Amino acid sequence: MSGAGGGRDGPREPRRAARAAPRRGARWADRIVGVPDAIVSLAKPLLRRAADATWEQAIAMEEFAEPMCFTTAGHKAAVRRFMDRRG
């Protein structure tokens, strides 16, 4: 694209990003479906509270949420493989 064309037609990146948005959204939706229901139901209240929390309160909430957030199917499988190798 020439400089004149860019000025006339606008940048291409926002259009490309807009076309890709539905695919990205679908990938995120597929990932969310695979997350345990308890984690999804906690996410919105935690985000709302974190927005109004002090730094110390937000860090405390993060520490309580961390075990749930990092206990994914992939993580469980990796831990299981590790433990199986240890005997």
Q: Same structural domain for residues 43 and 78?
A: yes
What pLDDT shows up at residue 65?
75
What pLDDT shows up at residue 9?
56
Q: Same structural domain for residues 42 and 74?
A: yes
Q: Same structural domain for residues 49 and 68?
A: yes
Cβ contacts of 50 within 8 Å, gap of 6 or more: 58, 61, 62
Q: Same structural domain for residues 43 and 80?
A: yes
Q: Same structural domain for residues 50 and 76?
A: yes
Q: Same structural domain for residues 43 and 81?
A: yes
C-alpha–C-alpha distance, residues 63 and 53, integer Å: 14
CA angle at 81 for the pair 39 and 84, rounded to the nearest 5°: 125
Name the residue range of residue 12's domain: 1-33
8 Å CB contact between 61 and 53? yes
This prediction has a pTM of 0.36
What pLDDT shows up at residue 77?
87
Residue 68, judged by CB atoms within 10 A of its CB (0-12, 13-18, 19+), counts as: middle
What pLDDT shows up at residue 8?
57
What pLDDT shows up at residue 33?
78
Q: How many folded domains does the chain comprise? A: 2
Q: Same structural domain for residues 57 and 79?
A: yes
What pLDDT shows up at residue 85?
93
What pLDDT shows up at residue 54?
92
Please report, for residues 56, 71, 72, the alpha-carbon distance to residue 66 in angstroms, rounded to integers and kept in the order given. Answer: 15, 8, 11
pLDDT along the chain (87 residues), means of 10: 54 68 82 76 80 89 76 81 89
CATH of the domain at 53: 1.10.12
